[in-house]
Amino acid sequence: MEKRRLGKTGYMSSILTFGGAALWLVTQAEADAGIAMAVEHGINQIDVAPEYGQAEMRLGPWLEKHRREIFLACKTRKRSKTEVLESIRQSLKTLQVNDFDLFQFHSVDDMETLNTLLGPNGGLEAVLEAKKQGLLRYIGITGHKPTFLAEALKHFDFDTVLFPLNRVIAAHPDETIEFNSLLKVAKKKDVGTIAMKAVTKSPWTNQMHMYKTWYEPFETQEDIDTSLWYALNQDVTTLAMPGDLRLWSMVIDAAERYKTMNKKQQSEAVIEAKKYRPLFPPE
């Protein structure tokens, strides 16, 4: 599987990242099978969070034995220094590891939250303290509003940024979720880019559905190919895999057959997606 440089970290990340949300509510056997599949196909980066149900607990037994074989990224929704320090310690314990490669502030979508994190007794103080103690190496930020994240990168020298990017978003232009401005800032500052929701089609239209993702995903190989290849053509480092293990074989297949798309092909992929309702509608 192709690898790309994760910005200033220098790490060569596989173009797919193990999305911990897929282990939200699975058995240990199902989790072990998902981990084995990912490792077998060269996926060398994990993204997980304590909010992802049982994910940290399911990953723990494997990480205890194989920690140095993977780039491990964790995150927190906590905002104060005290809460973030506790979150770091608890996640390390549950994951059965001694450190993280990357620790991210999770779901930062407004200036009030960012100011709290970067201000006195905010989460950043905790992360910088943990970094000095050798508990983590790099600092990242995640959110669902790429335009705001572009602004956030101007307020602190983050190493990575995680954000939504897909062809349905591109088909419904909106100032809040437009991702090109973020990509430009990230490239200028050499920030590693981790995209999520690459195979998202639309919000669910009813309560009964077959996948565990909180959005309706594309589910045919052709549509997943188009969606994944479009996302990978947007100058991102890696794509977080969807939150349902049943989609992973098709996603991995698409990544291993990745082809660059010319401007015409990208435009056609976006035009075809206009018939779908975006997960994050214009505000």
Q: Which long-range contacts (CB under 8 A, 24 or more apart) does 110-114 make?
A: 110/148, 111/148, 111/151, 113/79, 114/152, 114/155
Q: Is residue 282 included in any domain, yes or no?
A: no
State residue 282's pLDDT score: 62
Judged against a pLDDT cut of 70, whether residue 15 lies above it is answered with yes
Q: Of 58, 44, 48, 34, whose CA–CA distance to 4 is shortest?
A: 44
State residue 207's pLDDT score: 66
State residue 65's pLDDT score: 96
Q: Is residue 60 included in any domain, yes or no?
A: yes
* Whether the Cβ atoms of residue 183 and residue 236 lie closer than 8 Å to each other: yes
Q: Is residue 280 included in any domain, yes or no?
A: no
Instruction: Provide the terminal-to-terminal Cα distance of the chain, rounded to the nearest Å.
Output: 37
Q: Is residue 269 included in any domain, yes or no?
A: yes
User: Once rounded to an integer, what is the mean pLDDT over residues 23-31?
Assistant: 95
Q: Is residue 207 included in any domain, yes or no?
A: yes
* Whether the Cβ atoms of residue 21 and residue 52 lie closer than 8 Å to each other: yes
Q: Is residue 281 included in any domain, yes or no?
A: no
Q: Is residue 124 included in any domain, yes or no?
A: yes
* Total number of domains in the chain: 1
pLDDT tens across 150-189, in order?
999 999 999 999 999 999 999 998 888 899 999 999 999 9
User: Once rounded to an integer, what is the mean pLDDT over residues 100-127?
Assistant: 97
User: Once rounded to an integer, what is the mean pLDDT over residues 55-78?
Assistant: 97
- The proportion of the chain whose per-residue pLDDT surpasses 70, expressed as a percent, equals 98
Give the CATH number for residue 42.
3.20.20.100
Phi first, then psi, for residue 183 (nearest 5°) are: -60, -35
Q: Is residue 25 included in any domain, yes or no?
A: yes
| Cα–Cα distance for residue pair 266/97, rounded to 1 Å | 41
CB atoms within 10 A of CB 65: 9
Q: CA 258 → CA 151, 163, 232, 252, 261, distances in Å?
A: 31, 21, 8, 10, 9
Q: How confident is the model at residue 213 (pLDDT cuts 50, 70, 90)?
A: confident
User: Once rounded to an integer, what is the mean pLDDT over residues 187-213?
Assistant: 88
* Whether the Cβ atoms of residue 83 and residue 123 lie closer than 8 Å to each other: yes
* Whether the Cβ atoms of residue 101 and residue 72 lie closer than 8 Å to each other: yes
Q: How confident is the model at residue 283 (pLDDT cuts 50, 70, 90)?
A: low
Q: CA 85 → CA 81, 113, 277, distances in Å?
A: 6, 17, 39
What is the extent of the structural domain holding 192?
3-275
